Amino acid sequence: MVQILRDFYKYLKAFESDVGRGIYLSFFFTILAGLAEGLGISLLLPLFQLFNTQDSKSQFGLTNFLLNLLNKFNIADSYGIIFLLIITAFLIKGFLIFLAFSYNSSLKGKLMKSLKRRLFNNYSKMSYEYYLQNNIGNLTNIINEQVNLSVRAFNNLYTVGLRTINCIIYLIFAYTIAGISSSIAILGSLIILFIFRWLNTTTKKLSLKSAKENSNLANITIESLTSFKYLKATNKFKIKLKQIEDNIKKLSDYQIKTGILESFTAASREPISVTVIFLIISLQLFLLNKPIDSLLVSIILFYRALISTLGVQGSWQKTQEYIGSFEVVLEKLKSCSNNLEQNGNKYIIEFKKNIKFKNIYFKFDKSKEFIIKNLNFELPAFKSIAFVGQSGAGKTTIANLICLLLKPTKGNIFIDDHDASEIELGSWRDQIGYVSQETTIFDDSIANNIALSFGPEENNKNLISRIKESARLANIDKFIEKLPHGYQTLVGGNGLKLSGGQRQRIFIARELFRKPKILILDEATSALDNISEKAIQRSIDLLRGKITVILIAHRISTLKNTDYLYVVNDGKIQEYGKFNDLISNPKSFFSKLVSSQML
């Protein structure tokens, strides 16, 4: 019982951080409603007294109190007024319960909004390295399914509080009527909670297991759908289907076990209540010789108290069924909070001078091997710089370090003479256009994908003009204009209705639309045909001297016009210089890579 109270208080305080102290107002309404109902039931006593020929000395305390009160107002002998008072008490109770449940509904909405907002906010601020340690299915499942189940946990926890309040009020009224007999009901209530405590523990364990399996199932489902084309073409869906079936079987088993525990609680309710009531009747009739009127009213109160106690058990068991989801949500909030991206307070309003890497080493936390080793170089502003090397040499990691997505394990990065650790990240990234190897296309129109406006843009002529100009520079305008819906064409999730090259060009158009100060192209033209590549290369050449261009590429044609060329090998700068100088030197590492077709 003590543990239940501790857990109830712990979860109540945890929910309070999201819904505020309004939950206590809801409990206050419940207290008033319980008092109104208890008074309404107790008013049956003076009603029965009208048929009772015994003198008032044989009556119990509450009966005398109510009769004296009614006599004071000269209404003790009025059936109609007493009936009206009873009806009024229950109407007040109904109205207060309506307020309590209505207010609870608003609290549930507030809880859902708060948890989802907090999670997404933490997702957006978590470090890139921590993001890589998670899977999309798990993150998606937590913010959608587990938050919804957390709201159910809150609702059941609220019901526990409501029924506990009702139980206490019923027992208080019963005590004023039946005295010592109420001890049996109190003892019975405590025994019920004690006997069923193992059900609650088992239900909570099943809840935690279900939350974990739901996350696994969401991850496998997302992986399967994002890999639909490959799995369909190679007939490998059966592998994913086997994984999903295993997850579903576990979830089904957990659900069955939870249902059996709930059935046991439901099936025990009436037998336990009847047994305890029978003991109370026996005590009052044969040992205490109570009058029939107080016996009938006390039985009503005892029965409702026991039903409330069993309701507390049922609701607490339901709380345990869903509380595992809430704990998963809290754990993810805490984990994200512990892995938030460290931000500085120095704003880079406009990149003007250079980026310097000084003695930079990098490895992931759990890795023993350094991906980047003792990098020292300078990237001047308004120049075009290329990083080349074999796959796995560390080129993309360098790009991630430039974007400050990753933090050096050792060494320092300086941007315009400011240490990167002191820079406000948003101010720096606002200036970066990044076309990565993996295209990022949203399930929206082509226009919204280019402008990232995600809203109606038909009436904004300047915006439309900029969108079309960006599409022209990315050599995708003619394709778009031939489509039936032009720039309003919906491209599907991750651009599935487009070819790889079309997705890449829309991606490039988006970054050109942003007019960045730094444009990072990480294998940006790898999926393009020669004509598109040449068109985009011309667009990039037009930007020379106006912005800083950082290229990561294998194709020789994209490297010729760069101002500086850095050759990366095994996480180090093997050599650097002008393209013509390196390609014409047969002893250069770059020349050997080209001649051996390793680029």
Residue in 359, 264, 35 with CA at minimum distance from that of residue 165: 35
488: amino acid identity, one letter: Q
- Tokens 């809430």 locate to 326
382: amino acid identity, one letter: F
Residue in 355, 485, 530, 338 with CA at minimum distance from that of residue 432: 355
pLDDT tens profile 133-186: 888 888 888 888 889 899 999 998 988 888 888 888 877 777 776 666 556 666
pLDDT tens profile 340-361: 998 999 999 889 999 999 999 9
pTM of model > 0.75: yes
136/98 same-domain check:
yes
Instruction: List CB contacts of 81: < 8 A, sequence separation 6 or more.
Output: 75
Whether 29 shows a pLDDT value over 90: the answer reads: no
181/283 same-domain check:
yes
**Position 148 in a domain:** yes
Distance of CA 576 to the CA centre of its chain: 46
pLDDT tens profile 531-573: 777 777 877 887 888 899 999 887 777 788 889 999 999 899 9
Using pLDDT thresholds of 50, 70 and 90, give the confidence band for residue 48. low
42/87 same-domain check:
yes
Q: What is the per-residue pLDDT for 233?
A: 66
Q: What is the per-residue pLDDT for 519?
A: 92
Domain span at 458: 440-515
510/370 same-domain check:
no
- In angstroms, the CA 96 to CA 554 distance is 72
| CATH assignment at residue 469 | 3.40.50.300
- In angstroms, the CA 145 to CA 312 distance is 25
Strand 354-362 versus strand 410-415 pairing type: antiparallel
- In angstroms, the CA 116 to CA 146 distance is 10
Q: What is the per-residue pLDDT for 310?
A: 73
What average pLDDT does the chain have? Answer: 81
Asked if residues 371 and 569 have their Cβ atoms less than 8 Å apart, the reply is no
Whether 208 shows a pLDDT value over 90: the answer reads: no
Query: In terms of DSSP H, where are the helices of 339-434?
Result: 395-402, 425-429
- In angstroms, the CA 359 to CA 409 distance is 10
| Tokens encoding 457 | 């843009």
Crossing angle of helices 147-178 and 292-338, in 10° steps, is 150
Whether 459 shows a pLDDT value over 90: the answer reads: no
Which of 280, 306, 338 delimits the end of a domain? 338
Whether 111 shows a pLDDT value over 80: the answer reads: yes
Q: What is the per-residue pLDDT for 82?
A: 72
Can you tell me the mean pLDDT for 61-86?
A: 66
Query: Across 203-249, where does the E strand assignment appear?
Result: none
**Position 136 in a domain:** yes
> How far is the first Cα of the chain from the last one, in angstroms, to the nearest whole number?
70
Query: Across 407-475, where does the E strand assignment appear?
Result: 410-415, 418-419, 432-435
Residue 225 phi/psi, 5° resolution? Answer: -75, -35
Which of 299, 314, 338 delimits the end of a domain? 338
| Tokens encoding 31 | 């207290």
- In angstroms, the CA 123 to CA 116 distance is 10
Strand 372-380 versus strand 354-362 pairing type: antiparallel
| Tokens encoding 223 | 């992986």
**Position 29 in a domain:** yes
Burial of 5 (0-12, 13-18, 19+ CB in 10 A): exposed
Question: Any bridge partners for residue 362, and if so which?
Answer: 372
469/400 same-domain check:
no
- In angstroms, the CA 345 to CA 377 distance is 25
295/190 same-domain check:
yes
**Position 493 in a domain:** yes
User: Between 487 and 300, where is the model more confident?
Assistant: 487
| Tokens encoding 151 | 């709201």
Full strand arrangement of the beta sheet holding 418-419: 372-380, 354-362, 410-415, 418-419
Which of 338, 371, 399 delimits the end of a domain? 338
User: Between 322 and 454, where is the model more confident?
Assistant: 322
Task: Give Cα separations from 207 to 159, 194, 212, 330, 398 (angstroms).
Answer: 19, 21, 9, 15, 43
pLDDT tens profile 287-323: 656 655 556 666 677 677 777 777 777 788 788 888 8
Percent of the chain residues topping a pLDDT of 70: 80
- In angstroms, the CA 41 to CA 172 distance is 13
Using pLDDT thresholds of 50, 70 and 90, give the confidence band for residue 403. very high
Residue 530 phi/psi, 5° resolution? Answer: -60, -40
**Position 348 in a domain:** no
pLDDT tens profile 407-443: 999 999 999 999 999 999 999 999 999 988 788 888 8
183/249 same-domain check:
yes
**Position 590 in a domain:** yes
Q: What is the per-residue pLDDT for 55?
A: 46
- In angstroms, the CA 118 to CA 121 distance is 5
| CATH assignment at residue 193 | 1.20.1560.10
* Measured CA angle at 560 (ends 578, 400), to 5 deg: 80
- In angstroms, the CA 172 to CA 151 distance is 32
481/588 same-domain check:
no
- Tokens 């560390």 locate to 394
**Position 345 in a domain:** no
| Tokens encoding 401 | 């370090």
Q: What is the per-residue pLDDT for 556?
A: 78
383/421 same-domain check:
yes
- In angstroms, the CA 290 to CA 1 distance is 32
Whether 224 shows a pLDDT value over 80: the answer reads: no
- In angstroms, the CA 273 to CA 189 distance is 10
Task: Report the number of distinct structural domains present in the chain.
Answer: 3
91/131 same-domain check:
yes
Query: Across 14-148, where does the E strand assignment appear?
Result: none
Asked if residues 90 and 6 have their Cβ atoms less than 8 Å apart, the reply is no
Q: What is the per-residue pLDDT for 53?
A: 45
User: Between 260 and 489, where is the model more confident?
Assistant: 489
Q: What is the per-residue pLDDT for 59?
A: 47
**Position 344 in a domain:** no
| Tokens encoding 283 | 């005590």
Can you tell me the mean pLDDT for 481-502?
A: 86
Question: Any bridge partners for residue 304, and if so which?
Answer: none
330/384 same-domain check:
no
Whether 99 shows a pLDDT value over 70: the answer reads: yes
138/99 same-domain check:
yes
Using pLDDT thresholds of 50, 70 and 90, give the confidence band for residue 57. very low
Q: What is the CA radius of gyration of the chain?
A: 36
User: Between 495 and 459, where is the model more confident?
Assistant: 495
